[in-house]
């Protein structure tokens, strides 16, 4: 999703109208915080996928050990 934000230029210095002088402005740090939050979410997803992969490895190893002892128990 792409969001376009219209950034307005600051009012002139000699403008005394409070509605023009004190209007809300686009904050420069907002883009940085969005980028940081997206990076954090990507890191969480990669950590989750790594844990899922390790869990799958452990389950496979457990099944191998169980099969190994099952073969030894039949002898």
Q: Which position has the token pair 């039949």?
A: 74
Q: Which position has the token pair 């990076």?
A: 39
Q: How far apart are CA 38 and CA 35, in angstroms?
A: 5
Give this prediction's pTM.
0.51
| pLDDT for position 40 | 93
Query: Per residue of the chain (75 residues), what is the pLDDT tens digit?
Result: 555 556 667 777 777 776 776 656 556 666 777 888 889 999 999 999 999 999 999 999 999 999 988 877 766
């Amino acid at each position: 999703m792409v969001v376009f934000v219209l950034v307005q230029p600051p009012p002139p210095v000699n403008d005394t109208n409070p509605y023009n002088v004190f209007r809300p402005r686009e904050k420069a740090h907002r883009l940085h915080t969005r980028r940081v939050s997206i990076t954090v979410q990507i890191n969480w997803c990669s950590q989750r996928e790594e844990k899922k992969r390790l869990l799958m490895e452990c389950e496979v190893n457990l099944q191998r050990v169980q099969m190994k002892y099952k073969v030894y128990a039949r002898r």
